């Protein structure tokens, strides 16, 4: 991984003819207590000095942040959350994560786990959703075990004995009752997970990223799945796709060097 990063940076700098600052969008985060990776669903990174290793390979300071934070930085600066005071960004991909922006800045704290929405339990779970699937983090029933792409596949397989990817399930839903039911269960769980966020921080907009965010039904049907759980009269929730598509997180990683947005809350060597 580190050799590939060094190669890519070298290639880009030769093309640009200049030395650049480097920001890295990663799963998990760098622990403030140990300087080692924590919470990465690419579990081979956990408890490794990834930040220090990248810096040593590139011979310069590097800033690293969770991929959901990078998506949030990109979209709040000049994307779907531009000009909105508070935004919650969600990654629905091989894993599941979140990031809260307030006043243009990432909300994170001493434990570097701000926005770790993927590892809280599914709220308002039904008896058929308890205790929930085992999670790699050691607990069970985490939102990631219901909402990530592999989780949708496993849920579909439990219900139908069919092994399909999330993209295949989405493609079949128009003409296959089993696939449609799996997407409906996924939508209901995503709606409850986001309703919990709205009841805590009531963001002005929620931006969806990651591979599953390309499923168009989410933008049509998600508000109705969230609103019954919101503790307010006639609630409205804005759900938007990322303006910068699948490249948004990478743009956000470059913005880690924008001190006004990230600055002291980042890991810096």
Contact status: 95 vs Zn ion (CB under 5 A): no
In whole angstroms, how close is the CB of 139 to Zn ion at the nearest point?
5
Per-residue x/- track, 186-205, Zn ion (CB under 5 A) = --------------------
Binding mask 24-53 for Zn ion (x = CB under 5 A): ------------------------------
CA angle 89, 90, 92 (to 5 degrees): 155
**For Zn ion, the closer CB: 73 or 92:** 92
119 forms part of the interface with Zn ion (CB under 5 A) = yes
Q: Of these, 30, 37, 62, 142, which contacts Zn ion (CB under 5 A)?
A: 142
- Rounded to whole angstroms, the Cα distance separating 223 from 243 reads 19
Q: Give the range of 62-70, 135-143, 180-188, 194-202 binding Zn ion by CB under 5 A.
A: 135-143
Nearer to Zn ion, 133 or 178 (CB): 133
Of 29-37, 87-95, 133-141, 152-160, which segment contacts Zn ion by CB under 5 A?
133-141
Closer of 107 and 120 to Zn ion (Cβ): 120
94, 105, 110: which is closest to 40 by C-alpha?
A: 94
Q: How many residues does the chain have?
A: 269
Task: Give φ, ψ of 98 to 5 degrees.
Answer: -150, 165
- Please tell me the count of residues contacting Zn ion according to CB under 5 A: 4
Distance (Å) of CA 245 to CA 96, 210, 256, 262: 17, 9, 19, 21
Residue 204: name the closest of 66, 46, 118, 88 by CA. 88
Contact between 135 and Zn ion by CB under 5 A: the answer reads: yes
CB 74 within 8 A of CB 81: no
- Alpha-carbon distance 141 to 143, whole Å? 6
Give the whole-angstrom CA distance, residue 72 versus residue 88: 7
Segment near Zn ion (CB under 5 A); pick from 33-41, 60-68, 113-121, 228-236: 113-121
Q: Could you tell me the smallest distance in angstroms from the CB atom of residue 86 to Zn ion?
A: 25
Question: Shortest approach of Zn ion to residue 94 CB, angstroms?
Answer: 14
Q: How far apart are CA 123 and CA 193, in angstroms?
A: 6
**Binding footprint of Zn ion on the chain (CB under 5 A):** 119, 135, 137, 142
């Amino acid at each position: 991984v580190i050799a590939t990063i060094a190669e890519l940076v070298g290639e880009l700098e030769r093309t640009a003819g200049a030395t650049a600052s480097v920001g890295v969008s990663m799963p998990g985060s760098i622990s403030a207590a140990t300087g080692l990776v924590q919470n990465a669903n690419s579990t081979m990174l956990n408890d490794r000095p990834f930040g220090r290793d990248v810096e040593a390979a590139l011979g310069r300071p590097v800033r690293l942040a969770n991929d959901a934070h990078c998506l949030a930085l990109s979209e709040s600066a000049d994307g779907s959350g531009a000009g909105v005071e508070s935004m919650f960004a969600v990654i629905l991909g091989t894993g599941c994560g979140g990031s809260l922006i307030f006043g243009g800045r990432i909300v994170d704290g001493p434990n570097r786990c701000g926005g770790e929405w993927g590892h809280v339990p599914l709220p308002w779970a039904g008896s058929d959703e308890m205790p929930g699937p085992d999670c790699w983090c050691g607990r069970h029933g985490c939102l990631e075990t219901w909402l990530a792409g592999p989780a949708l596949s496993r849920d579909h397989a439990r219900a139908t004995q069919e092994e399909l990817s999330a993209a295949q399930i989405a493609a079949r839903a128009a003409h296959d009752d089993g696939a449609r039911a799996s997407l409906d269960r996924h939508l209901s769980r995503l709606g409850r997970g986001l309703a919990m966020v709205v009841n805590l921080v009531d963001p002005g907009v929620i931006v969806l990223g990651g591979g599953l965010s390309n499923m168009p039904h989410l933008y049509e049907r998600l508000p109705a799945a969230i609103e019954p759980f919101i503790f307010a009269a006639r609630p409205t929730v804005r759900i938007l796709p990322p303006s910068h598509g699948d490249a948004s997180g990478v743009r956000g990683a470059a913005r880690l060097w924008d001190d006004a947005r990230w600055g002291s809350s980042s890991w810096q060597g």
